[in-house]
Chains A and B, each alone.
Chain A
Amino acid sequence: MEIKREDIIHLAELSNFSLSEKEIEGLGKDLQEIIKYISQLDQLDTNNIEPTYQVFDLENVWREDEIVEQEATREELLALTVEQKDHQIKVPKVL
C-alpha cells in the first residue's frame, strides 16, 4: 500500500510526535519501505492457524494477596520529575 503524507501525520499524532517537515518526508520514505517489506506476509498461508501472542509456558501466575512494600519511596519517585510542587508533579496547563 502507498503511504501518504496524511498517513504519516496521523501516525505521528497517534505516537505523540511533533515531527518537522523534514522528518515527515524522511519517515514517509522509510515507513513506505518497511511496510513494503513486512507486507510479504501476504504470501504466507495462515488459513486455520491460531495466532500466538506470547510464548511463556505458564498462565495465571498467582501470589499471596498481601501488601508488598515498594522499593522506592514517594519522595524518591517525586525527585525524578523535572518540576514538582506540594508533593505533586507539575506540568503545563492541561486544557
Chain B
Amino acid sequence: MKVANKKVTAERLVRDALEKAKYFSDYHIFTFLNEEVAIKKAKEIDKRIAKGEKVGKLAGVPYALKDNFLSPEGETTASAHILEGFTAPVTATAVAKLEAEGAIMIGRTNLDAFAHGSTTENSYFGPTLNSHDKTRVAGGSSGGSAVAVALDIVEFATGTDTGGSIRQPASFNGVYGLKPTFGTVSRYGVVAMASSTDCIGFFTKTPDDMNLLMSIAAGQDPKDMTTLPDYYDESETKSQKDSLRIGVIKEFDNDSVSPEIREALKKKVELLKAKGHEIVEVKMPSLKYALAAYYIIVPAEVASNLSRHDGVRYGFRSDKSADLKNLYENTRNEGFMPENKRRIMIGNFVLSSGFYDAYFLKAAKARTLIVKEYEKAFSKCDFLLAPVTPNPAFKLGEKIGDPVAMYLEDMMTVSLNLAGVPGLTIPAGETKEGIALGLQLIGPRQSDKNLIQFAKELA
C-alpha cells in the first residue's frame, strides 16, 4: 500500500485518486465524492509529515467507502431513496479506526439499495458497470467498492457481506475480497441488513494489504455487543504447517458451474499440489439447501431491521400523507426499491403466524445442519477452495426481471454467512472474453489471518 511520505504527499495521492474517480465517472462507481474534506485532511497529514511527527499506518491512503457506512462526510444513503438527505451525526467504528490511522475517504460507493442484491442494479442511483466489460454487472451488493479497487482508483475499499456482497463483486472484478469470521469487525454505524449474518470486510489488490486492514479494523467494540474479543494480531506470525490439506467441495464442482470457473479451480488445485499440499474431496450435501434457508432467515431479519425506516426521524419523508399511518406507508412505498419490498414481504411472510414453523423454524434447523457440515469439513481439511459463483459476471439486465434466477447466483456464497465462517475471494484469471474470474478460500471460524496468508500461495 502506498502510504504518504515526504516525497509522495498525501495531497498527491488523494488528488490522483479523485482525478481517476472522475475519469471513470461513466462506470457509476461513486454516489458522492469527498473532494474538499479529503484534500483538507491530506494537507493536514502532509504538515505532520513535514514536521517529522508520527503518522498512522494508512497515512494519506485514499479509500472508497461503501455507502452504507455512517460518517458525517457526505450523505449515507445505502443507495436507497428512503435515506436520501441523511447525513449521519455519528461515525462507524470501522471508519473511525481507518481514519485514526490516516486513511482518507475520497468517495462513497454505489450498492444495491440496503445491500439487497447481487449486481448493484437495485441501486436507486442506477447500476455500476463491470471493470472488465461495461456491458456486464459489477456484482453486488458492494459493486462500487469492487470496481473502485479493480480500476485502481483506490488501493482499498470497504464492503459489507451478508450473503456474498464482498466476495461476489470481488470475483466479478478480479480483486481480493474478504468476508471475515462473524463478529470480527464492529458493525456499529453500518446500516443493518441481517444481524445474524452481516459482516464488514475489505477489497484490496494484495493479501498483505488485506492483512494490514484487518489488523486495524478488527477487535471488540463496546458499541457492538456482537464483536469477538481481539484475536486478530498482524504482528503474530502463526506457524502454519508447510503442507496443508485443502478440500474441494464436491457439490460445487459439477455441470451447473461454468466450465471456465471449473477450469480456474482445476488450475489452482494443480498449483497447490505442485506446492506440496494435499487435495481432498469434501462432500457437503446440506449446502444444497443453504440458499433456501438463507432466503428465509435473511428476509426475516431484513423485515425486522428495515421497519425502523419510516420517514419520521431521518431521511426521506413522503409529503402526501394525511395521517401518520399513511405517512409510514407512503414513505416506505416510495422510498424502497422493488427488491427491498420483496425481501421485507417475504420476511413478514415467513415470520407470520401459520407459516413460522414451516419456514423460519425449518430454516433455522437447516442452518444447524450447515454449521455442522462446515465443522465436519474442517475436521478433514485446513481450508476449502471453491467457486464464488456458478457463472462469471453476466450482462446488465439479464436477470433483474427474475428474482429467483438472481438469487441462484448467490448459491455458493450464502452458506458461509449462515455458518459464520470466513471466506476470501482470490483472483483466478479471466475468461476467454476477458471477464474476471475468482475463487473463494474458506476457513474455520477465526482462521482469517491464516486464510489471508495462505492466499499468497495461490497468487
Contact = CB atoms under 8 A, between A and B. Distances in A.
Interface of A: 7-8, 11-12, 14-19, 23, 26-27, 30-31, 33-44, 46, 49-58, 61, 63, 68, 71-73, 76-77, 79-83, 89, 91-95
A35 B368 contact: no
Given A50-B365, A80-B86, A14 B322 contact: no
A26 B401 CA distance: 10
B427 interface: no
Given A15-B303, A38-B359, A82-B317, A57 B292 contact: no
Interface size range on B against A? 35 or more
Contacts of A42: 362
B342 A41 contact: no
A36 B289 CA distance: 13
A13 B361 CA distance: 23
Nearest to A79: B89
Contacts of B314: 80-81
Given A34-B342, A41-B296, A49-B369, A56 B324 contact: no
B323 A44 contact: no
Contact of B341 (A27, A39, A50, A55): A27
Contacts of B293: 41
Interface string B323-337: 111111110110010
A39 to B, nearest CB: 8
B295 A52 contact: no
Given A15-B332, A92-B321, A93-B324, A37 B361 contact: no
B391 interface: no
B284 interface: no
A92 B341 contact: no
Contact of B368 (A52, A58, A63, A91): A52
Contacts of B350: 38
B364 A52 contact: yes
A37 B292 contact: yes
A15 to B, nearest CB: 5
Given A91-B324, A93-B323, A55 B332 contact: no
Task: List the 5 shortest-distance A-B pairs measured between CB atoms, nearest first.
Answer: A55-B420, A51-B364, A72-B89, A46-B365, A80-B314
B183 interface: yes
